[in-house]
Amino acid sequence: MPHVNRVYAPRVHNAAVASVKTVWEVVADETYHGLHEAGLPANGLFVSVQGSGIVRLGESDRHELYSVDSPQFMFVPRGIPCSYWSRSAVNWKFFYVEFDALKSLETLGMTYSRPYDLPVSGPALQHCRRMIRELAGHSPEADVAAAGEFTRLLVYLARMQKHLEPGRPLARACGEAKGQDDAIRRLLVWMERHVEGRHGVSDFVTVSGLSRRQLYRRFHRVTGISPKQYFLALKIQAASRRLHATPDTVAMIAERYAFADAYHFSRAFSQYMGCAPRAYRRMVLPQSVDGSEASG
């Protein structure tokens, strides 16, 4: 089953309340990889309901990896480089809420950037589904109602968190840390510097100095996915920034990042981002002009 993203957003944002920016209902398969190198655009809340995923916080050579299992929740502040992907045999199902006012968490005495168990997940799921139901109404009244549901969700999670121990990172990569996998670190840095090229496994083997078998085993141990999946995710994230920041057409971006053509780029982009390139551009730049772009 391909992964599914359903997104719900209010029509207006009321600065007087702790507003919900968007609520995503995600069913992530092994191809799914969310990647935000420049940091999340808004504060985020993961509520994991089935399967498990990996959340990486920090730069490629200075980060922590967390397992987010089910049922668990995790807050991630805006601006922190973040990537996440499914790690389980079954699809990873989770709600992802973008919100303003991180101070609301601090007021409630909550901590973030660590996963916590949900001993009783039902109330959290109900709040998430009610937010979606309200936002689907697309009215100012619904926006306020969704903000109220989010506030109730925060209060519930704050009460849970007081009695729970946070999850510990699966792994750390922190510069000169003892035990760091230098071969994989070197390859990760190389991938980011050569994201515009057409490179494959043979190049990754050469750069890392490892055998193909060692490469796959050690790369998966650090990142949770294969080198090919990771490199493609870097390309998609770089392409998404160009869709946001430049008037380049889909065809131009496909060529820049060494995709075979606009069709193959659009297909890969849709698999990772949950929507076609032109749809993504309309979401992030509602006033953008994209009539000259290749179909996507």
Which tens digits make up the pLDDT trace of 39-94?
Answer: 888 899 999 988 888 888 887 657 787 888 888 899 999 898 898 888 766 788 99
The pLDDT of residue 2: 47
Report phi then psi at 71, rounded to 5: -90, 130
The pLDDT of residue 4: 55
β-bridge partners, 55: 66, 84
218 contacts 185 by C-beta, under 8 angstroms: no
Tell whether the model's pLDDT for residue 14 goes beyond 70: no
Question: Which residue from 50, 63, 53 is spatially nearest to 30, judged by alpha carbons?
Answer: 53
List domains and CATH numbers for the chain. 4-161 (2.60.120.280), 181-284 (1.10.10.60)
Q: How far apart are CA 153 and CA 48, in angstroms?
A: 14
Model confidence over 85-138: pLDDT tens digits? 887 667 889 999 998 877 778 888 888 888 888 766 778 888 999 999 888 877
The pLDDT of residue 177: 35
Model confidence over 200-231: pLDDT tens digits? 999 999 999 999 999 999 888 777 778 998 89
The pLDDT of residue 63: 74
Q: How far apart are CA 116 and CA 82, in angstroms?
A: 18
DSSP for 173-236, written as a single string: EETT-TT--HHHHHHHHHHHHTTTS---HHHHHHHHT--HHHHHHHHHHHHSS-HHHHHHHHHH
SS (H, E, C) 30-94: CCCEEEECCCCCCEEEEEEEECCEEEEEEECCEEEEEEECCCEEEEECCCCCEEEEECCCCCEEE
The pLDDT of residue 198: 93
240 or 148: which carries more pLDDT confidence? 148
Confidence band (pLDDT; 50, 70, 90) for 11? very low
Is the bond into 71 cis (omega within 30 degrees of 0)? yes
Tell whether the model's pLDDT for residue 252 goes beyond 70: yes
Q: How far apart are CA 94 and CA 260, in angstroms?
A: 33
Category of 186 on φ-ψ map: left (φ > 0), alpha (ψ -120 to 50) or beta: alpha
Confidence band (pLDDT; 50, 70, 90) for 286? very low
Using the structure block, give the residue that is written with the tokens 């920034």: 241
Average pLDDT over residues 260-280: 87
265 or 296: which carries more pLDDT confidence? 265
The pLDDT of residue 6: 60
Model confidence over 142-188: pLDDT tens digits? 888 888 899 999 988 888 887 777 877 765 554 433 345 788 888 98
Tell whether the model's pLDDT for residue 288 goes beyond 70: no
- The strand order across the sheet containing 62-68 reads 33-36, 82-86, 53-59, 62-68, 171-174
The pLDDT of residue 107: 84
Tell whether the model's pLDDT for residue 13 goes beyond 50: no
The pLDDT of residue 208: 94
